[in-house]
Structure 1
C-alpha cells in the first residue's frame, strides 16, 4: 500500500476553493458547460480544471453528458441544495414555535434533520427565563449519532422498514451513555415502537444524566423531514421517565403539529 502524504492546510483550502468555484460556475450559468467554458469561468488552466472536474464527477457532484461531453450538476450537488433549502424553510417557519415551547417548559428545545446515520441540529432554543441547566455542548450544525438520540430515533423510525434495517446493520452501536442500546434487535424494536406511538424517548443513552423526548415533523406530503426534541438533565429535574413524558409530551406534540401545519401538512 502506498502511503498518502497529507497536503498542507493551505493546499487543501485552495483545492476546496477551486472545487467550489467549478460548482458555482455551473450553478450560475444554469446550463451544461464544456470543459473550456468551465475553465474560462473559473480562471483555471484547462489541465487543472479537468482534474477538479474529474474528481467532482467521481464523487457524484457533476455529471457528463456522453454525447455533448458537457457537464452539469449531479445528484450529490442537487441533494445538498435541496437539503439547504429545506433546512432554511424549516428554521424559518419553526423558530417562533420552538422558542415558545422552550419558554413554556423551561427546557432546551432543538430541531434536527437526518443525514445518513447522524442527526444534524438545524435549530436550538433555550428558555428566556434564567435557570440552572446542564446540557450537551451542541449548537446548530452539530452532528450526533441518530441511534442514541431521541430526535435520531424519531427520524429513523419513519424511514421505510427495509431501509431502517439496512441503516441499523451499518451503524456501529457503540456505548455512549450508561443505557445506550447496543443490540440491533432491541434498536429495531425500539424504532417500531416509536413509529407506533409517534414519540421517541432517550433515557441516558447519549450521556449520563441526560434524557430527552422527540416527535417527528412532516412536510406538506406527510414525509417526516425533521424532529423536535426537549432535553432534560437529571440534575435539574430528577423525575422518573414516566413523569417527564407525562408532563412534556403534550406541548411537544402540539409544537411539532404546529410546525408541520406551517409546512403544509394537513393530516
Structure 2
C-alpha cells in the first residue's frame, strides 16, 4: 500500500495552485482560503518555500509568486522530455489544421504523464494516470513485444476482461498502419476521469469493482482496419501515433482528438497527418523509427 504524507500533499497543492495561475501573486489569506488551509499552516509552507527560492515574497503589499528555484528545477526536468518540447510546434500545427485538441504524453515510471497540449480542450499538464491495464495500451503498441508483454502482465488498475488474442491483432494492425483509432465509451471517459492522479491501490475494493463493471473489454475500443469503411461515418474519440527515441524505442504518444463521427476516408487522412507529425518529432529530436533504419 502507498503511504500518504498530508504535509507533503499540502505543499504540492500549493505549488500546483501557483502553476495553474501563471504570473499571479497571492496574499497569505487568499492562499489559505483557496487551498482550504489554516493560515498558520499556510504561512509555514510559504515561509519554507520562500527560503528555498521556490517562492518570492513581495513586501508591498505582502504577496507571493513562483521563484527562481522553480525555473531551475523546470529546466533540469525538461531535459528528460526534450521530444515533448519539439512536439509542441507540431501539435499546434495539427490543432490549427483540424480545430482539435492535440496532446503529447509519455510513461514516466509507473505512471502516464501529460506533457503538452494544444487546441481548445482543457487538458491539465502534469496530470498522471496509472500505467496498467486497462489504461496505457497505446504506450506499448509500437514498442517491443517484451514491453507489451510486461504491460499486459501488470496487475490491472481495475478489474477488466482480457482478450489477449484480440489485443495482439490490435498491436499488429496499429504497427502496420502507424496509428491507432479509438472510440472511448462514456464509461471509458469516466474511468480516465476517476483514475487521473490516483493510484489503483488508493481505490476502495468496492469502487474498483464498480469501475470494472463500467469498462468494456480491453481492446474493444480500438477500430481495426476492416472496421473503417471509407464512406461510412464512425464515432471516433481520438487518433494516436508514436514517436521514437535514439534507440528506436517508443517515446511519446501524440494524440489528435476527433470527438464526432467521421468517414473512414477522413480518418485515414487525419491518421496520415498525425503520423507525419510524429515522424517529424522523432527526426527533429534525434530519434529513429525502428523499421526505417
**TM-score bin (small chain):** 0.5 to 0.7
- Once the two structures are superposed, residues 198-224 of structure 1 have per-residue CA deviations (whole angstroms, 9 ceiling, x without a partner) of 211211253387611111112233222
**Is 1:124 matched with 2:117?**
yes
Structure 1 gaps, min length 5:
15-80, 128-134
From 98, 102, 119, give the equivalent of 1:105: 98
- Once the two structures are superposed, residues 148-175 of structure 1 have per-residue CA deviations (whole angstroms, 9 ceiling, x without a partner) of 67xx434212333133123112242748
Structure 1 counterpart of 2:272: 250
Conserved? CA contact 1:212–1:231, under 8 Å: yes
Conserved? CA contact 2:143–2:249, under 8 Å: no
Give how far 1:118 is off: 4.3
Structure 1 counterpart of 2:262: 239
Distance, in Å, in 1 between the alignment partners of 2:279 and 2:170 is 22
Distance, in Å, in 1 between the alignment partners of 2:4 and 2:113 is 28
From 149, 153, 164, give the equivalent of 1:169: 153
Structure 2 counterpart of 1:140: 125
Structure 2 gaps, min length 5:
12-74, 191-234
Distance, in Å, in 2 between the alignment partners of 1:207 and 1:8 is 29
Q: TM-score, normalised by structure 2?
A: 0.50
Matches within 5 A, 1:1-267: 9-10=6-7, 85-87=79-81, 89-115=82-108, 118-126=111-119, 138-145=123-130, 152-172=136-156, 174=158, 182-204=162-184, 206-207=188-189, 211-234=237-260, 238-240=261-263, 242-265=264-287, 267=292
Conserved? CA contact 2:144–2:249, under 8 Å: no
Question: Number of matched residues?
Answer: 178
SS at match of 2:240: strand
Give the structure with higher Rg (CA): 1
Give how far 1:265 is off: 3.4
The Cα RMSD (Å) is 3.5
SS at match of 1:264: coil
- Once the two structures are superposed, residues 114-155 of structure 1 have per-residue CA deviations (whole angstroms, 9 ceiling, x without a partner) of 23564211101005xxxxxxx6x5321122355567xx4342
